[in-house]
Chains A and B, each alone.
Chain A
Amino acid sequence: MSRPTVAFFELASCEGCQLQVANLGEELLAILDRIDLVEFRELLTERPDGPLDIAFVEGSVVNAECEARLHAIRQRSELLIAYGSCATIGGVNAMANGRPISEIQAEVYGDQAERFAAARVRPLHQLVPVDYFIHGCPIYPDELIKVLKAALAHLPYNIPDYAVCVECLLNENVCMYEKKVTCLGPVTRAGCNAWCINNGNVCYGCRGLVSNPNRAGAEAVLSRYHLDSRLIANKMLMYNGALEPTDE
């Protein structure tokens, strides 16, 4: 039986989630025994353009070129995996959605703004059907392996739908609110094993909101500390700026 064909692609992104693949070390060689890695522009020269069993797509859609590339990838791929926050929820790119596009264009492009066709930053599923989501900025390598296994076996993968606080408490971290700083753990989807809080920083919400976030509760906690409301709004929108009402 031939090995399933797998490819990695990137739209607007930092390519850090793909680098996480090279960072697997020698484990990567064990994975390469099970799949036929046919396309990976960051590491390989080969680009055969044929049908794919699994396509990993990193990055978000920011213009018409990205959109066309995404449709072409979807067409050649049996399974499409949105890979990393930029692809699953828009990620840091979607901070641009918080300001009018014309204003941002003028800021960056000055008098050449009209020559550049910018669009609202969108995650993949707002344009094409997505079979699996691997959240995170960057992705958590353990979850990559879990999802790859599920995809190879055509089994569903259930993303945890509880708050990061659950994992954080299991790791016995002291709550960041006890240290007088705000943390998005209470409203953010788990699955990263509370990576940032384990390392002494706060949660920035990179995996997106849980499906039924307790916003009122979170806002009440935040207002208790008399914080500038704009700063808090900015925090909430660092990763979630591309969310549509239907995404929740």
Chain B
Amino acid sequence: MSRNISINQQFLTRVEGHGHIVVDVKNGILQKGELQIVEAPRFFEALLQGRSIFEAQHITSRICGICACGHSLASIQAAENAIGFLPGEQTQQLRKLLLLMENLDSHLLHIYLLVAPDLLGVDSFLGMMQDHAEAVKRALRMKKQCNTICDILVGRHVHPISCVIGGFTKLPNSRQLETIQTLLEQIKEDLPPTVELVRQFSFPDFIRETEYVALVNDAADYPLLSGDIGSSDGVRMAKEDYRSITNEFVVPHSTAKHARLSRNAYAVGALARFNLNSGKLHPAAQKAAAQIGLRAPCHNPFFNSCAQLVEVVHCTETALQIVERFLAKGIDQSEAVIVGINENRSIPVQAGSGVGAVEVPRGTLFHHYDVDAKGIIQKADCVIPTGQNLQNIEDDMQKLVPEILHKTDKEITLALEMLVRAYDPCISCSTHFLKIEFIGR
């Protein structure tokens, strides 16, 4: 085939952040298939230097509005490791509950409002109001319920207030726990139609085997907030060795760095977690996976949305279990902390280095801080899930384009947009800490 195609889709929509898709085909041969990242950088790494470690959660949650709770939890974990603070069991369970709610909320937004329009043949969720009004209302209702639960737990979902180094500045009382339980029961009622919606989707038929990376553990629970880093190619390392996992490198067309491990690229996110840990999912989530025909290992990146759906069920059921346990034994209100920037010396501080590794909606998020004996940040580093996925997305594009060359430019563009969206990229996140290099300008 001697076809020439030039696609330059500027400012990809229905993703978080700014990216362009650029494809160049000459005489039927793919010359270039790139996801160009053009996000304006915000220098968070430099901003943290010289500040109190007790400000890190507040500042780094502002890296991203969508996974603000995930950034907070990774930040707190890294900070507590660095200063040598060990959180108690109640604190850890509440943090897990918060993470489950964030992953649930983010997956719902992605499945219903960002991915569904492509598969239902409309431009956006506004277009869905015509024939799928019930689905839009359900999505907004479920999102609101997630938000209300986050409001109770940490004051608000976007930039959480009360989760800090040392624990929580405010703890839910039994009446609030009952409210959370009721809201989760309501979300649970909306799960069957949610599973049914995804079951009806017809995803593009595309397979490319790659390396999948996620937290792994030797325990029975689906690892989200603790564990080692593992890969489908058999790598396993402690979280402190995350730099040996990510091996970041700079490419000319992206303000965010790329990553690779055993191969040219690897993937993180819901599908990676599913491929590595599906046996540890809640039984109801495993049932949902069977209903929509998702089996590990799955090498179709478009099925990331299916893995997200399975996690939606898992998050709801697991959150309910946690809340029920708290309702049974009560919350010890005396564990509430008032920390500020530790002016009251309520948290002992020592010099050190700490890493946080958390499975946030889009994959494994790393925060790393070095602090001095006064708790002043000397160095900060974050590695964002979307940055880790960028090389893998491009490798997918380079296999996908030749397979669909017979289609129209418009169809190819849509297929590529859907591919990028399947990863649920969070571009503004992935850009903030990284080196920049512009091509040909």
Contact = CB atoms under 8 A, between A and B. Distances in A.
B258 interface: no
A108 B45 contact: yes
A43 B125 contact: yes
Contact of B59 (A99, A198, A231, A238): A238
A92 B59 contact: yes
Contact of A14 (B62, B143, B155): B62
Contacts of B340: 176, 181-183, 202
B419 to A, nearest CB: 15
Contact of A199 (B14, B41, B68, B170): B170
The DSSP consensus for interface residues of chain B is loop
B14 A44 contact: yes
Contact of A95 (B16, B47, B140): B47
Contacts of A115: 436-438
Interface in B16-61: 16-17, 40-43, 45-47, 49-52, 55, 58-59
A27 to B, nearest CB: 8
A201 B169 contact: yes
A12 interface: yes
Contacts of B428: 13-15
Given A62-B42, A108-B433, A200 B170 contact: yes
Contacts of B276: none
A233 to B, nearest CB: 10
A165 B310 CA distance: 45
- Among A22, A37, A198, max chain B CB count under 10 A is at A22
B62 A43 contact: no
Contacts of A216: none
A129 B65 CA distance: 26
Contacts of A176: 338, 340
Contacts of A19: 65-66, 158
B16 A15 contact: yes
A196 B154 CA distance: 10
A125 interface: no
A11 B42 CA distance: 11
Interface string B120-158: 000111100000000011001101100100000011111
Nearest to B168: A200
Contact of B109 (A17, A22, A92): A22
Nearest to A62: B40
A29 B117 CA distance: 17
Interface in B136-191: 136-137, 140-141, 143-144, 147, 154-159, 161-162, 164, 168-170
A80 interface: no
A63 B15 CA distance: 22
A23 B158 contact: yes
B170 A46 contact: no
Interface in A99-119: 99, 103-104, 107-110, 112, 115-116, 118
Nearest 6 A/B pairs, CB to CB? A16-B65, A181-B340, A25-B144, A200-B169, A199-B155, A180-B344
20 contacts: A12-B41, A16-B62, A16-B65, A22-B140, A23-B144, A29-B136, A43-B125, A44-B13, A45-B124, A96-B43, A104-B46, A108-B45, A110-B435, A179-B338, A199-B155, A199-B161, A200-B161, A200-B162, A227-B343, A234-B55
